[in-house]
Chain A
Amino acid sequence: MIKVLFFAQLREKLDCSQLDVPLTAASNAPFTVADLKAQLASKGDAWQSVFTDPQVLSALNQIMCNNDVVLTNSDEVAFFPPVTGG
């Protein structure tokens, strides 16, 4: 299971702050952040709009990551807009 978190505008647009996504070990092909985004986008509507937006940032286990990163069971992935702290 991968724990997926959503923050700020994404959380509001999706009306969802957290989701558990099963890691389907169907093949030997690695499951990347890009694959996860595609899977979430396929839910349509707001999900489609959010996960095809190139501005969305990702973090794997609380460290910023890019789309190529491979995911494993028990990973925590977060998606969020560009940050505005300080």
Chain B
Amino acid sequence: MSDINFHPITQNTIVKILDTAFDPAASLGELSTADGEYGALVTFTGMVRDLAENPVNAMFLEHYPGMTEQSLQAIIDTARERWALGQITVTHRVGMLYPGDPIVFIGVSSRHRREAFDACQFIMDYLKMDAPFWKKEFTPKGEYWVEAKISDCDAAKRW
């Protein structure tokens, strides 16, 4: 179903790579400017886990400055080609993180909820597969680089 008279809705893309802690509530606040153009706003927040069976004291997030921003922008551009979307924000941490810290925040607005839900998941699936970040966990048993999961690439392929 397409709009008969399609007027491009407000397009605003924000990509942030931060080396200090951020508050997802503030990221949400940046998106929530009530101008009435969009009816749906979907967000995702990923956080550092520290499970009893897999304890993590800290996590180091390495990235490729320059390519990181380009990669996220390219993923967002692809999402915009596929769905009619409004504001999009992707914020990703780098540096040292601790249990419970937000790692990534994605926010997507659109006129209707279907596009926002789909685009938010799409962006996350492609970020997991393509964006140049690498995680190293500091655990009681030592330091380990997190291994990439095949399931992450499979998730992206379904799009």
Contact = CB atoms under 8 A, between A and B. Distances in A.
Contact of A85 (B66, B70, B133, B145): B133
A80 B62 CA distance: 11
Q: Is the interface of B mostly helix, strand, loop or mixed?
A: mixed
A8 B148 CA distance: 12
Given A7-B62, A8-B145, A83 B67 contact: no
A63 interface: yes
A23 B17 CA distance: 33
A9 B129 CA distance: 17
A81 to B, nearest CB: 7
Interface string A1-29: 00001011100000000000000000000
Interface residues of B, number: 28
Contact of B103 (A9, A59, A80, A86): A86
A7 B124 contact: no
B145 A81 contact: yes
A62 B73 CA distance: 12
A32 B63 CA distance: 25
Contact of B147 (A7, A64, A80, A84): A84
A60 to B, nearest CB: 10
7 contacts: A5-B64, A81-B134, A81-B148, A82-B147, A83-B130, A84-B148, A86-B46
